[in-house]
Amino acid sequence: MTVAAHLPPTGSPGSPRSLRWSLADGWTLTLRGVSHWVRDPTPVIFALAFDVLIVLMFVYLIGGAMRVPGGGDYRDFLMPGMFAMTMLFGIAATTQAVAADVERGITDRFRSMPMSAGAMLAGRAAADMLLSVLTLTVMIVTALAVGWRPYGSAGGFLAALGLILLLRLALVWVGVYLGLTLSGAEAVTGVQVLEFPVGFLSSAFVATTTMPGWLGAIADWNPISSTVTAVRELLGNPGAAGHSWITEHALPMAVVWPVVLLLIFFPLSVAKWRGLSR
Considering the entire predicted model, what is its pTM? 0.87
Alpha helices in 40-117, H assignment, sequence order: 42-56, 74-103, 106-112
Encode pLDDT of 191-232 as tens digits: 888 888 999 999 999 888 888 989 999 999 999 999 999 999
Beta carbons within 10 angstroms of residue 1's beta carbon = 12
User: Mean per-residue pLDDT for 173-181?
Assistant: 92
Where are the chain's structural domains? 16-274
Ranges 28-32, 99-103, 142-146, 192-196, most confident: 142-146
Is the distance from CB of 179 to CB of 98 less than 8 angstroms? yes
Measured in whole angstroms, how far is the alpha carbon of residue 201 from the centre of its chain? 17
Residue 133 CB: number of other CB atoms within 10 A?
A: 12
Cβ atoms < 10 Å from Cβ of 55: 24
| Residue 26, phi then psi, degrees to nearest 5 | -60, -40
Question: How large is the average pLDDT for residues 21-39?
Answer: 82
How many C-alpha atoms does 45 have within 13 Å on its Cβ side? 5
CA trace torsion 193, 199, 205, 211 (10° rounding): 100
pLDDT of residue 23: 77
* pLDDT value, residue 7: 41
What's the alpha-carbon Rg for the chain, to the nearest Å? 20
Count helices and strands in the chain by DSSP H and E runs:
11, 0
